[in-house]
Amino acid sequence: MSKKKRVAKAKVSKEEEVSEEEPELEEVEKTEKLEEAPAGEEAPKAEEKAAEEAAPEEEEIIDERIYTVPLRLAYWTGSRIHRANRTVRILRHFIERNMKPEELLIQPEVNDKIWARGIQKPPRRLRIRATKNADNLVRVYLAEG
């Protein structure tokens, strides 16, 4: 091994030792800062956070309807390999026509039900529950039962 390589290795090992020592100092400083903070201030903040988490945002539901959406049109039109995509479009069109939303969100469980048997065999009909909130946002869920 040449002298240059040995010197370079020595420099690298010294830098590693220095870099290993620095995080320990930073950790000690962080813990000291935490200990210095008055205990009276931390308790109210923790209570406020707990209160915010305990009261989730509950949407005010204006309208809730249960529909059986006929999706057989997806089987008649277009090619076989686009049926599931077309089914989602038919569902969107049906909800827009009946609920007149500003925004429409189809929940993943509905999407999973449509795509469960693959792209070529979506369900012929789907029973859904559509809810409209005060912001005119409609969410589509699977109907229970």
* pLDDT for the residue 78: 85
Per DSSP, the residues of 50-105 read HHHHHS-----EEEEEEEEEE-THHHHSS-GGGHHHHHHHHHHHHHHHHH--SEEE
Mean pLDDT calculated for residue range 29-35: 51
| Total number of domains in the chain | 2
Query: Residue 98 is part of a domain; what is its CATH number?
Result: 3.10.440.10
Q: What is the pLDDT of residues 10-19, one digit of tens each?
A: 665 555 555 5
Residue after which a domain boundary falls, among 37, 54, 71: 54
Mean pLDDT calculated for residue range 111-116: 98
- Please check the confidence at residue 51 and state whether its pLDDT lies above 60: no
- Please check the confidence at residue 111 and state whether its pLDDT lies above 90: yes
Residues spanned by the domain of 88: 61-142
Are 45 and 71 in a shared domain? no
Beta bridge partners of 145: none
pLDDT range class, residue 97, cuts 50, 70, 90: very high
